[in-house]
């Protein structure tokens, strides 16, 4: 099992349970995580994996011969993030909780848009199937005509064909502005 658990700390309700915590799965799971989300260190390009023992040597060989290593100062920054005070990431989750509330409520007030409350990460995935234009075109036109960058849900597989994906990793002020622009665009359709 390859399990990308990069959002494991970004939960709004309940407790995170790794797939590796289930019986018999620890020794069969490659668990991926990184600093990009919890510590907002996307640009540092540092991730890590917990792997079953037999994979350690081949993976070390692979990384030594492909990237050599993560630059030492980035490794030190990673250690500082993981072992230092955790108040900042915890406060950030609370800020994301407020942004989530704002964006989901705002999307649900738009004509033809309905959005469920996400339980983790920082993305809203509204259903826009009631609108007269398809999500792919809608995403392009929102960017070109309203200056709002969203992705078409089809980028995330066949279950996303009726959706858009919006990141709410942005200020409440900007999110409010984006919602206003979307309203203006949709009302003019």
Chain contacts with ligand PLP (rule: CB under 6 A): 4, 6, 34, 36, 42, 47
d(CA 137, CA 30): 37
| Residue 33 CB, nearest approach to ligand PLP (Å) | 9
- The helix (H) or strand (E) run that includes residue 66 is helix 56-66
The least distance separating ligand PLP from the CB of residue 49, rounded to whole angstroms, comes to 11
Provide, rounded to whole angstroms, the least separation between the CB of residue 6 and ligand PLP: 4
Query: Are the beta carbons of 169 and 122 closer than 8 angstroms?
Result: yes
Closest residue to ligand PLP using C-beta atoms: 36
Q: Which is nearer to ligand PLP, 6 or 74 (CB)?
A: 6
Alpha helices of 67-122 — where are they, by DSSP H?
Answer: 72-83, 87-108
Min separation Cβ 41 and ligand PLP, Å:
8
Q: CA triplet 110, 116, 119: central angle to 5 degrees?
A: 135
In contact, 77 and 31? CB cutoff 8 Å? no
Nearest residue (CB) to ligand PLP, 17 versus 188: 17
Residue 47 vs 89, nearer CB to ligand PLP: 47
């Amino acid at each position: 099992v390859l399990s990308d658990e990069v959002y494991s700390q970004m939960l709004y309700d309940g407790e995170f349970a790794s797939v590796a915590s289930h019986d018999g799965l620890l020794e069969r799971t490659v668990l991926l995580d990184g600093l990009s989300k919890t510590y907002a260190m996307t640009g540092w390009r540092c991730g890590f994996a917990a792997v079953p023992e037999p994979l350690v040597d081949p993976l070390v060989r692979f990384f030594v011969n492909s990237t050599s290593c993560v630059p030492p100062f980035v490794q030190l920054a990673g250690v500082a993030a993981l072992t230092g005070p955790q108040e900042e990431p915890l406060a950030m989750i609370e800020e994301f909780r407020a942004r989530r509330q704002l964006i989901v409520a705002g999307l649900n007030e738009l004509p033809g848009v309905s959005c469920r409350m996400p339980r983790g990460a920082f993305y809203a995935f509204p259903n826009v199937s009631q609108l007269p234009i398809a999500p792919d075109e809608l995403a392009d036109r929102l960017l070109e005509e309203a200056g709002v960058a969203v992705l078409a849900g089809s980028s995330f597989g066949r279950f996303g064909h009726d959706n858009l994906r919006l990141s709410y990793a942005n200020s409440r002020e900007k999110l409010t502005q984006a919602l206003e622009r979307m309203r203006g665009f949709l009302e003019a359709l």
